[in-house]
Amino acid sequence: MKFPSAVALLFCLIAGTAAAQNSYPNRPVRFVIDTNPGGATDILGRLAAQSLTQQLGRQFVIENRAGGSGHIAIDMLVKAPTDGYTVMVIGGGNLVVEPLLHKTLPYDARVAIVPVFNIAETPHVLVTSLPVKTLAEFIAYAKANPGKLYYGSAGIGSPPHLAVAYLARLTGLSMVHVPYKGVGGTIPDLVAGRLQLVSMALGAASPNIKAGTLRALAVGAPARLAGAPDIPSSAEAGLPEWQMSAWFGVFVPRGTSDAIVRLLNEKLQVYVDAPATRQKFVELGASAIGGSPESFTERMRTDFDFWGKVIRETGIELQ
């Protein structure tokens, strides 16, 4: 009679596990963002967390973990429990660039964390505090003042850093890089004139562009953005080679159950498909992506090739 009892116990354990997954989430979820408040990752992450909270009935609590071009947040996620109660949103550049620049990372993000959902993609916009009206005027001014202009970024090797470094290589400019813990931190110094250039998402720059305290020179896309029709594309601005964009995705630690991954993916797809979300993305200069975890994984693979090329051509190395 012992054997049937063991079988019964096994079935109870299996049923209990299934019930736990079916009830997910039954407590608040940590929703980690890899940068400071104010940047595109933070804006898109907060919108996603708000939607998940509404759909799943449990609070997805924002936790900004800035620094190290995403390294601090990724390292935290890698070490987090695999129960679905720690979720991260991060910009693709940070996630992909880290392994290309750091040769001795304690983890491999391609193995240690799981892609859940690709929220959106947004082209970079070149934003300046100088009283110039076009990218050509900025380039002429920078060439006349080599080494005297400062550009900010979200950290060494971050997409805003690589974007301007690539611009400088294409145009022969000499500017000084000032790294921050997030692109949101560059905005006050840019408005104050302590920085002269930052490459960032439209959503982060839009309030100051509309207020006239900053000027947009070009968007790193083949065509103008629907949400910012007055900003010329890089081709229209005279630099078609400069095309920069970034995606923003949701991840969980490796080992998280497939049922939880699929549930989060399903709810995030509902979020990006909502008309109100699509309109908000237009205002932010972003395009919804969505799709399966598998398609997101494939996008990551192709990005390793692109950013590897940019790093080789710019010669960027960690200091």
Residue 139 has pLDDT above 50, yes or no: yes
Separation between Cα atoms, residue 183 and residue 164, nearest integer Å? 13
pLDDT per position as a tens digit, 210-253: 999 999 999 998 888 888 899 999 999 999 999 888 889 999 99
Residue carrying the six token digits 């974007």 = 163
Q: Looking at per-residue confidence, does 144 or 12 come out higher?
A: 144
Residue 16 has pLDDT above 70, yes or no: no
- Mean pLDDT for 107-111 is 79
Closest by CA position to 285, among listed 13, 78, 5, 44: 44
pLDDT per position as a tens digit, 245-291: 888 999 999 999 999 999 999 999 999 999 999 998 888 888 899 99
Residue 48 has pLDDT above 60, yes or no: yes
User: What is the pTM for the complete model shown?
Assistant: 0.72
The lowest-confidence range among 78-82, 162-166, 284-288 is 284-288
Determine the pLDDT at residue 317.
Answer: 66
Both structure tokens of 43: 């804006």
Fold matches, 29-122+245-314 and 123-219 = yes
Determine the pLDDT at residue 168.
Answer: 94
Per the document, the length of the chain is: 319
Both structure tokens of 78: 């890698």
Residue 154 has pLDDT above 60, yes or no: yes
Task: Classify 270 as helix, strand or coil.
Answer: helix
The ranges assigned to domains in the chain are 29-122+245-314, 123-219
- Mean pLDDT for 87-104 is 81
Q: Looking at per-residue confidence, does 309 or 34 come out higher?
A: 34
- Mean pLDDT for 109-133 is 92
Residue 12 pLDDT grade (very low, low, confident, very high; cuts 50, 70, 90): very low
Task: Classify 227 as helix, strand or coil.
Answer: coil
Tell me if the domain spanning 29-122+245-314 has CATH number 3.40.50.970: no
Determine the pLDDT at residue 7.
Answer: 45
- Mean pLDDT for 155-167 is 87
pLDDT per position as a tens digit, 64-78: 998 776 778 998 999
The lowest-confidence range among 26-40, 59-73, 102-116, 177-191 is 102-116
Separation between Cα atoms, residue 315 and residue 59, nearest integer Å? 43
Separation between Cα atoms, residue 169 and residue 290, nearest integer Å? 33
Phi/psi at 218 (nearest 5 deg)?
Answer: -170, 155
Determine contact, residues 272/280, Cβ cutoff 8 Å. no
CATH superfamily name and code, 123-219: Periplasmic binding protein-like II (3.40.190.10)
